């Protein structure tokens, strides 16, 4: 267990568990959480024993209530010294990690909470979960990747409608639109997320990074170039298998 104030990080049997841990404010994302998420994700990236990750939120009220608006207009006492740390590309770091992430979402999932779930590869939601991206209604543009990850997940038109109206999306609709892959009773959510992550951790270690590269990079390419990318990655996978057999 790595000791943090706003995040809990642990690992067992190849699966890391990352818990947003500010339950008194529904795990609202603040600058301290940003720093600690950076450290936790760096540990995930660099630890060869970690093969899959589960992301969840502490407490019964929700996964994450979005950005902590009480910090707007304020700065830490050592703002200059910490500025570089605050400006690190956390979301870019997250997306660069080739290991599979499973989000276990419950209760309120708002703003940055939705965006963090979208940075994961698979999303499981508890019955009663409520999703909302309120930034546009507040005169802001989502800043944790939502304008890019949401349309890539549910399509451009549904994403635009959800972003512009800032309406709530319940778990059943989230399942229909592809925002989540499964909806489960609350008491089964973490157990099932851990089981999914365990299965992913048991896959050949070279396969998941190659598959993620094919999907994420290929969708931004013309079809012919994407097919060529797939062919290169498939050949790389075969070479990996052949190399392991020779060893």
Per DSSP, the chain holds a count of helices (H) and strands (E) of 10, 10
- For 195, residues 6+ apart whose C-beta sits below 8 A from its C-beta are none
Of 84, 160, 168, which Cα lies nearest the Cα of 130? 168
CA atoms of 185 and 46, how far apart (whole Å): 34
Question: Annotated catalytic sites, by residue?
Answer: 115, 135
Residue closest to 226 by CA, chosen among 216, 236, 241, 240: 216
The token pair that represents 228 in the structure block: 């060529």
- Residue where the block lists tokens 């299965």: 199
Residue 144 DSSP class:
S
Q: Which residues contact 70 (CB under 8 A, 6 or more apart)?
A: none
DSSP 3-state of 76: coil
Which residue in 182, 40, 73 sits closest to 124, CA to CA? Answer: 182
**DSSP symbol at 158:** H
């Amino acid at each position: 267990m790595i000791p943090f104030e706003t995040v809990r990080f642990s690992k067992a049997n190849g699966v890391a568990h990352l818990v947003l841990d500010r339950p008194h404010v529904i795990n609202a994302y603040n600058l301290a959480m940003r720093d600690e998420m950076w450290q936790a994700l760096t540990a995930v990236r660099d630890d060869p024993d970690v093969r899959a990750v589960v992301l969840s939120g502490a407490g019964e009220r929700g996964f994450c209530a979005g950005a902590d608006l009480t910090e707007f207009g304020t700065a830490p006492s050592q703002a200059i010294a910490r500025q570089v740390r605050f400006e690190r590309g956390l979301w870019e770091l997250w997306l660069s990690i080739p290991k599979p992430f499973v989000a276990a979402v419950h209760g309120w999932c708002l703003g940055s909470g939705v965006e963090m779930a979208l940075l994961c590869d698979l999303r499981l939601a508890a019955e009663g979960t409520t999703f909302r991206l309120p930034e546009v209604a507040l005169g802001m543009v989502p800043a944790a990747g939502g304008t890019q990850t949401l349309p890539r997940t549910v399509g451009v038109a549904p994403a635009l409608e959800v972003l512009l109206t800032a309406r709530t999306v319940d778990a059943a609709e989230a399942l229909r639109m592809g925002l989540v892959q499964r909806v489960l009773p609350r008491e089964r959510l973490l157990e099932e997320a851990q089981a999914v992550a365990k299965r992913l951790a048991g896959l050949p270690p070279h396969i998941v990074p190659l598959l993620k590269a094919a999907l994420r990079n290929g969708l931004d390419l013309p079809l012919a170039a994407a097919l060529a990318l797939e062919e290169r990655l498939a050949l790389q996978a075969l070479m990996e298998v052949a190399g392991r057999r020779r060893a």
